[in-house]
Amino acid sequence: MQFYVRVVRAEGQVLLSACDSHLLGKVFREGNAVLNVSESYYGQRLVGEEELRSLLLQATIINLVGDGAVAVAEKADLCRKTDAKTVSGVPHLNIYYI
H or E element: which one contains 54? Answer: helix 49-58
Q: 2-96 — its CATH code?
A: 3.30.1860.10
Domain boundaries, given as residue ranges, for the chain: 2-96
Contact 16, 61 (CB under 8 A): yes
* pTM of the model as a whole: 0.94
Residue 29's pLDDT is 97
| The pLDDT value given to residue 33 | 95
Amino acid at 11: E
Would you give per-residue pLDDT tens digits along the chain (98 residues)?
Answer: 999 999 999 999 999 999 999 999 999 999 999 999 999 999 999 999 999 999 999 999 999 999 999 999 999 999 998 999 999 999 999 999 87
Number of H helices, E strands in the chain: 3, 8
pLDDT at residue 77, as a whole number: 94
Q: In this predicted structure, what is the pLDDT of residue 27?
A: 98
